[in-house]
Amino acid sequence: MPLTIVQSGEPVLRKPARPLRPNEIRSREIRELVQQMKETMYAAPGVGLAAPQIGQGIQLAVIEDRPEYTKDWMPEQLAERDRKPVPFHVIINPRIKLIGEERLEYLEGCLSLANLMALTPRARRVRVECVDENGEPKIIEASGWYARILQHEIDHLAGTMYVDHMYSRTLMTVENFTRHWKDKSLAEMKKALLGPDSGQETRQIN
């Protein structure tokens, strides 16, 4: 049975989550929680879910970008987002490092801010050190959309949400994205929402 995803305004979403201890990571309770979070992520559907989003203030998140989510997309849409399928995995007690200064901008949503999305800059490349659900250390080096997912979920573990990074002028409902912007390029969207000087280049943020 899917868990309830808490919405913006719940205190747990704005508090730094605590690290899990080694004995907790290997516990039956955490194994069961991971399975419940996986089912909840699928039901939403979403590409990631952090424990604070289901009311648990612990440093744990599940991630999967399934091929069926983009099966009807055109190659240019996938290329613009630098998006490829990502298999299911668990990250626990992650530490993230942004690699380089290049930032990519694209629309980002959140299961805890239902029916909203906004243009949000994220680092193109990241390196994450974490442990998995078996307590094994992992190093993840990611780029493009996968890097965006990792940044989004690890933000949740620090009490941060995408609205803290977004360009506020671009906040919109999913319905209005489908109605007005779905078939437009990123450059067209930026020009219309951010002004003619926004340009088509990838923005550098120091």
Two tokens at 35? Answer: 């399975």
List domains and CATH numbers for the chain.
11-104+120-162 (3.90.45.10)
> What is the predicted pLDDT for the residue at 75?
87
Q: Is the pLDDT of residue 206 over 70?
A: no
The answer to whether residue 188 is catalytic is no
* CA dihedral (111, 117, 118, 122) positive or negative: positive
pTM of the model: 0.92
Whether residue 119 contacts residue 178, with contact meaning beta carbons closer than 8 Å, is answered with: no
pLDDT in tens, 132-170: 999 999 999 999 999 999 999 999 999 999 999 999 999
Q: Is the pLDDT of residue 32 over 90?
A: yes
**Of all residues in the chain, what percent carry a pLDDT higher than 70?**
95
Beta strands 172-173 and 137-143: pairing type? unpaired
| Catalytic position from the list 76, 136, 153, 201 | 153
> What is the predicted pLDDT for the residue at 41?
98
Going by pLDDT thresholds of 50, 70 and 90, the confidence category of residue 198 is low
Q: Which of 94, 108, 103 is CA-nearest to residue 144? A: 103
Q: How far apart are CA 55 and CA 38, in angstroms?
A: 15
pLDDT in tens, 80-92: 888 999 999 999 9
